[in-house]
């Protein structure tokens, strides 16, 4: 009888119901991987952990949901990163296409385009000095052209004979040619249908031929204006500016080409997906 009672106690001890268990996320993830990746059965895991099968199954389902959510978030992050990098690379392409003569401002108008450029300069800090040098050249070019244009307008004002607007356009075209380092050919003239012209530019109206006294006077006056304009100090300054522009352009375009070949922006910016939040600062004035 004593032996029989002892055996009954032992049986009751061995058949105790599984204990209640509070499953952590790490444990649930380990169970999920054991079932989904290693092919183990939930019943086997429950017996090993000493918990109810339904507790293991519930924990695995929650772990699966969390795993799927993390996978979706990682995919969204990867897509956002790819889109952001594409925006930055397109801005680099835009700058490379704009690095031409005559120099024009590289800072775009509008809030979003300006932020794209700011993002590029945050990623590629080496570009910042080239952009500053370019901006200085644009300002100097504008000042020089304002001075040259003002001088041309003043020289054309009044005078006899009175030249048409084509003379002004011709002189400005010559200035641009000298600015590009070109030396244009001597002016040639023609008189057709009563107009004195030099190339595509109409210089004087109501002339009968190249031998017309008014045509001769207009040609002499224009030749004198060409000499004064092209041999002035501003043209010499424009040529020097062109030389500086070539150096800045080579540095800028070289860096932008490196970015294009790399295909991946360096560094980070405050708009990088997944980057810690950074308090926005006012963008520099364009």
pLDDT digits (tens, 9 = 90+) for 63-118: 898 888 888 888 888 899 999 999 999 999 999 999 999 999 998 888 999 999 99
Domain end position, chosen among 79, 94, 120: 79
Q: Comparing C-alpha atoms, which of 170, 150, 157, 177 is closest to residue 219?
A: 170
Q: Quick check: is 11 in a domain? A: no
What gap in Å lies between CA 251 and CA 255, rounded to an integer?
A: 6
Same-domain status, 119 and 221: yes
Same-domain status, 58 and 169: no
The residue range of the domain holding 60 is: 23-79
Same-domain status, 118 and 249: yes
Lowest mean pLDDT among 9-18, 52-61, 90-99, 222-231: 9-18
What gap in Å lies between CA 146 and CA 152, rounded to an integer?
A: 10
Q: Comparing C-alpha atoms, which of 164, 169, 213, 215 is closest to residue 194?
A: 215
259 in Cβ contact with 89 (< 8 Å): yes
Q: Quick check: is 65 in a domain? A: yes
- Helix spans in the chain (H): 2-14, 25-36, 42-49, 53-98, 111-123, 127-156, 165-179, 213-230, 233-262
Res 280 pLDDT > 80: no
> Residue 166, class by beta-carbon neighbours within 10 Å (0-12 exposed, 13-18 middle, 19+ buried)?
buried
Q: In the sheet that 190-192 helps form, which strands lie side by side, from edge to edge?
A: 190-192, 195-198, 201-205
Q: Quick check: is 218 in a domain? A: yes
**pTM, 2 dp:** 0.70
Helices 42-49 + 53-98 axis angle, to 10: 110
How many other C-beta atoms can be found within 10 angstroms of the C-beta atom of residue 159?
13
Same-domain status, 168 and 58: no
- Looking at residues 250-277, what average pLDDT do you find? 87
Domain end position, chosen among 32, 63, 79: 79
Same-domain status, 117 and 248: yes
**Local confidence band at 1 (pLDDT 50, 70, 90 cut-offs):** very low
pLDDT digits (tens, 9 = 90+) for 118-138: 999 999 998 999 999 999 999
In the prediction, which pLDDT does 12 show?
A: 46
The token pair that represents 134 in the structure block: 């370019």
In the prediction, which pLDDT does 30 show?
A: 92
Same-domain status, 51 and 123: no
In the prediction, which pLDDT does 184 show?
A: 79
How many other C-beta atoms can be found within 10 angstroms of the C-beta atom of residue 60?
22
Res 276 pLDDT > 90: no
Q: Comparing C-alpha atoms, which of 284, 166, 144 is closest to residue 218?
A: 166
């Amino acid at each position: 009888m004593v032996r029989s009672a002892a055996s009954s106690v032992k049986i009751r001890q061995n058949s105790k119901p599984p204990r209640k268990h509070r499953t952590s996320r790490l444990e649930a993830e380990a169970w999920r991987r054991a079932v989904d990746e290693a092919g183990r059965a939930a019943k086997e895991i429950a017996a090993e952990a000493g918990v109810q099968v339904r507790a293991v199954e519930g924990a695995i389902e929650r772990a699966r949901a969390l795993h799927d959510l993390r996978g979706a978030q990682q995919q969204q992050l990867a897509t956002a990163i790819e889109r952001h990098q594409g925006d930055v690379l397109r801005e680099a392409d835009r700058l490379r296409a704009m690095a031409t003569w005559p120099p024009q401002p590289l800072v775009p108008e509008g809030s979003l385009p300006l932020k794209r450029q700011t993002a590029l300069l945050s990623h590629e800090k080496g570009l910042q000095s080239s952009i500053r040098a370019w901006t200085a050249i644009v300002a100097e070019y504008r000042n020089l052209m304002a001075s040259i244009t003002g001088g041309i307008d003043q020289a054309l004002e009044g005078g006899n004979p009175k030249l048409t607007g084509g003379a002004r356009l011709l002189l400005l075209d010559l200035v641009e040619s000298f600015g590009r380092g070109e030396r244009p050919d001597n002016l040639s003239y023609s008189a057709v249908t009563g107009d004195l012209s030099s190339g595509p530019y109409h210089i004087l109206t109501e002339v009968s031929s190249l031998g017309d006294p008014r045509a001769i006077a207009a040609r002499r006056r224009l030749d004198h204006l060409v000499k004064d304009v092209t041999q002035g100090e501003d043209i010499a300054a424009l040529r020097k500016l062109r030389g500086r522009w070539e150096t800045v352009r080579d540095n800028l375009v070289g860096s932008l080409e490196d970015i294009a070949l790399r295909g991946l922006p360096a560094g980070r910016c405050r708009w990088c997906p997944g980057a810690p939040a950074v308090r926005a600062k006012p963008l520099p004035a364009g």
